[in-house]
Structure 1
Amino acid sequence: MNKYWFMVLLAGLVEIIWVVGLKHADSVATWGVTVIAIIASFYFLLTAMAHLPSSTVYAMFTGIGTVGTVLTEIFIFNEPAHAIKLVLLGTLVIGIIGLHRVTGEVA
């Protein structure tokens, strides 16, 4: 994995923080963390997009964020984990991995 694909992964992981923050922030400190996470996430995303195919990067970014956010809501905030939800998340993960494999190491 080159540094730009790592930035996509990092952008997606940081996206989880700000998406959860948008729902659960309730103080100046938690809103501050949310805003910093938004800025960091988009910095990593835009840097990666400058060197990799933007369609694949964006799909991976949103996919990582979606899977991570749903799992965070399930494991930390006790959202229900319906079987179909987990099957669909698995399908999304397979799609993310597939997109990365067919795109290859462009940069």
Structure 2
Amino acid sequence: MNTDWMKVFIAALFEVFWVIGLKYADGFWTWTGTVISIIISFYVLIMAGRKLPVGTVYAVFVGLGTAGTVISEIILFGEPFKMSKILLILLLLVGVTGLKLLTKDNVQEGADS
């Protein structure tokens, strides 16, 4: 895996942090952590989008963030475990993986658009 795709995974991890933060933040430090997570998430996502196809990057980012958020809610916050929810997340991850596998990583050097 190259560093640009690693940036997408890092951005998705921070997306999970800020989405959970939006729901559970209730004080200065939790809101500060949420805002910092938003900034890091989008900064790293933008950096990845400079070298990789933006549509695929965004789809992978949102898919991983969604899966991570749902799984975190179940594990950390006692959301009900539903097999249908897990199966749909797996279907989402299969689609995201398929997009990543079908996307060429070689973007022309020096392209400024």
TM over 0.5: yes
Q: Residue 105 of structure 1: CA displacement?
A: 2.6
Residues of 1 paired with 2:104 and 2:13: CA distance?
A: 21
Point out where structure 1 has 5 or more consecutive residues left out of the alignment: none
TM-score by length of 2: 0.92
Q: Residue 70 of structure 1: CA displacement?
A: 0.2
TM-superposition CA deviations, 1:43-88 (whole Å, max 9, x none):
0000011110000000000001000000000000010111110110
1:67-78 to structure 2, matched below 5 A, reads 67-78=67-78
Q: Residue 106 of structure 1: CA displacement?
A: 2.5
Query: Aligned Cα RMSD in Å?
Result: 0.8
How many residues get paired?
Answer: 107
> What residue number does 1:85 align with?
85
TM-score by length of 1: 0.97
Indicate the structure (1 or 2) with the bigger Cα radius of gyration. 2
Runs in 1 of length 4+ with deviation above 3 angstroms? none
Q: Quick one: higher RCO (CA 8 Å, sep 6+), 1 or 2?
A: 1
